[in-house]
């Protein structure tokens, strides 16, 4: 870029040109003292020169959400999503799961939550032109053993399920080799897994999707109704770690939760876990809407961000031991 584009005193511009610096980028290659020796300018003049050149190259440092939305070609990574492998669901979710953030999938038992998670474990392995991220997935099981039979059935049916992908592409893929499975039995094991094991796979590019099935199970078993604050602190730690991993490696995190029936007044219930949306909304939350599977109307997937860190704690403190469905 030409130096004449900068809003500088002509004296400074002339001195820079005499030093045979022809572009703004060449100016920024030198430190302040070096520019002083080359141009003979004062320290204040050099500081003004560097600041003006930097601001010119940087342009506007503030972008609104609307600006990012309209500039898809300029900011492609901001709009990239992980496809669910189904045009209907992708249309509902505006392309699939966002890469930056924690998404929760909630629903009744046998609603298809695990099936959807398994499909995502396959979709993430496809090239980007087919909605994937060309990497594997980490599947953390906290309740049941990994559903290997269901996975094999999905793999065998990929040619019929993914008619948008050429058959030769599917035949070359070794889906089962890129799904890394971990079984954890308690909260400590879950936290150790997401703090030590998962980052290794993400940092090496071996995985770009993390699935936890289910996130509430260890907390439900380990903490009783009187331990809401210790439980909240551990949930905060888990939520913050998952959010950091997703942001650092631009990899979606999917947390599965089971929704139970509302208990009757005669049956005591533990305080709601972190993913009880009615309690979050009642505690000052910001319009949380989960994707409910089963007979419940489909809403939208939730990008939790800091729900576990702030809203949940707030809800638990305000609601106390109020009855609610267990996640």
Which one has a higher pLDDT value, 71 or 179? 179
- In tens, the pLDDT along 18-42 reads 998 888 888 888 888 999 999 999 9
Residue 74 CA to residue 141 CA, distance in Å, equals 39
Q: How confident is the model at residue 69 (pLDDT cuts 50, 70, 90)?
A: low
Q: How far apart are CA 36 and CA 249, in angstroms?
A: 41
Is the pLDDT score of 109 beyond 60?
Answer: yes
CB contact at 8 A, 186 and 143: no
- Does 295 or 19 have the greater pLDDT score? 19
Contacts of 93 (CB under 8 A, 6+ apart): 81, 84, 300, 301
pLDDT for the residue 172: 92
Q: Is the pLDDT of residue 10 over 70?
A: yes
Give residue 295's pLDDT: 32
Q: Is a pLDDT exceeding 70 seen at residue 268?
A: no
Which residues have CB under 8 Å from 245's CB, separation 6+?
A: 194, 198, 199, 202, 210, 251, 253
**Lowest mean pLDDT, pick from 49-53, 93-97, 101-105, 261-265:** 261-265
Whole-number pLDDT of residue 195: 95
The reported pLDDT for the residue numbered 263 is 53
Q: What is the pLDDT of residue 227?
A: 66
Residue 276 has pLDDT above 60, yes or no: no
Q: Smallest Cα–Cα separation from 78: which of 86, 70, 68?
A: 68
Query: What is the pLDDT of the chain when averaged over all its residues?
Result: 78
- C-alpha 192/C-alpha 238 separation (Å) is 10
What pLDDT, on the 0 to 100 scale, is given for residue 279?
A: 31
Which residues make beta-bridge pairs with 258? 107
Give the model confidence (pLDDT) of 217-243 as tens digits.
888 777 666 667 888 888 889 999 999
Peptide bond into 113 cis (omega under 30): no
Q: What is the mean pLDDT of residues 76-92?
A: 86
């Amino acid at each position: 870029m030409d130096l004449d584009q900068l809003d500088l005193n002509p004296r400074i511009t002339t001195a820079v040109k005499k030093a045979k610096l022809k572009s703004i980028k060449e100016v920024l290659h030198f430190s302040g003292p070096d520019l002083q020796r080359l141009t003979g300018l004062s320290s204040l003049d050099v500081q003004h020169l560097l600041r003006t050149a930097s601001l010119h190259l940087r342009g506007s440092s503030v972008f609104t959400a609307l600006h990012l939305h309209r500039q898809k070609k300029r900011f492609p990574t901001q709009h990239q999503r992980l496809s669910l492998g189904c045009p209907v669901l992708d249309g509902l979710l505006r392309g699939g799961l966002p890469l930056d953030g924690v998404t929760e999938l909630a629903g009744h038992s046998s609603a298809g939550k695990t099936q959807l998670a398994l499909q995502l474990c396959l979709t993430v392995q496809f090239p980007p032109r087919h909605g994937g991220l060309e990497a594997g997935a980490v599947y953390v099981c906290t309740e049941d053993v990994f559903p290997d039979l269901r996975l094999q059935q999905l793999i065998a049916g990929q040619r019929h399920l993914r008619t948008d992908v050429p058959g030769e592409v599917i035949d070359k893929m070794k889906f089962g080799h890129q799904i890394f499975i971990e079984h954890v039995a308690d909260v400590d094991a879950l936290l150790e897994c997401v703090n030590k094991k998962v980052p290794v796979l993400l940092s090496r590019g071996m995985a770009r999707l993390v699935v936890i099935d289910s996130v509430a199970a260890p907390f439900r078993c380990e903490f009783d109704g009187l331990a809401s604050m210790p439980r909240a602190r551990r949930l905060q730690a888990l939520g913050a770690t998952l959010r950091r991993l997703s942001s650092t490696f631009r990899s979606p995190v999917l947390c599965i939760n089971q929704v139970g029936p509302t208990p009757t007044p005669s049956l005591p219930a533990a305080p709601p876990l972190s993913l009880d949306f009615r309690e979050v909304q009642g505690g000052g939350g910001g319009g949380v809407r989960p994707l409910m599977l089963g007979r419940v109307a489909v809403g939208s997937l939730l990008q939790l961000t800091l729900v576990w860190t702030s809203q949940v704690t707030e809800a638990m403190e305000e609601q106390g031991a109020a009855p609610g469905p267990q996640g």
